[in-house]
Amino acid sequence: MALNPALLVFLYALATALATGLGAIPFIFVSRLSGAVVAYASAIASGLMLGASFGLVAEGTAYGGWQTIIGGGVGVGFILLTQQILQRYDVHFGVARGVGARKILLMLVVMTAHSFSEGVAVGVAFGGGMVLATAITVAIAVHNVPEGLAISAVLRSRGESVAVCAAWSVVSSLPQPVMAVPAFLFVDAFRVALPYGVGFAAGAMVFMVLVELLPEAFEEARRPIVALLVSATLVGMVLFQQSL
Per-residue pLDDT of the chain (244 residues; tens, 9 = 90+): 556 888 888 999 999 899 989 988 888 886 666 667 777 877 887 887 788 788 778 878 887 889 989 988 988 888 788 777 767 766 666 555 556 677 777 778 777 877 887 787 787 777 667 766 776 777 778 778 877 887 887 788 777 888 988 999 999 889 889 888 888 887 777 778 778 877 887 887 788 788 877 887 888 788 889 899 989 988 887 887 777 5
What contacts 177, CB < 8 A, 6 or more positions away? 10, 11, 13, 14, 16, 17, 119
The domain limits of the chain are 34-243
Nearest CA to 161 among 30, 17, 19?
Answer: 30
Q: What is the DSSP letter of 22?
A: G
pLDDT of residue 244: 58
Model-level pTM greater than 0.85? no
Nearest CA to 8 among 180, 160, 174?
Answer: 180
pLDDT of residue 112: 80
**Quick one: the chain helix, strand, coil %, rounded to 5?**
85, 0, 15
Let me know if 117 is exposed, middle or buried by CB neighbors in 10 A (0-12, 13-18, 19+).
buried
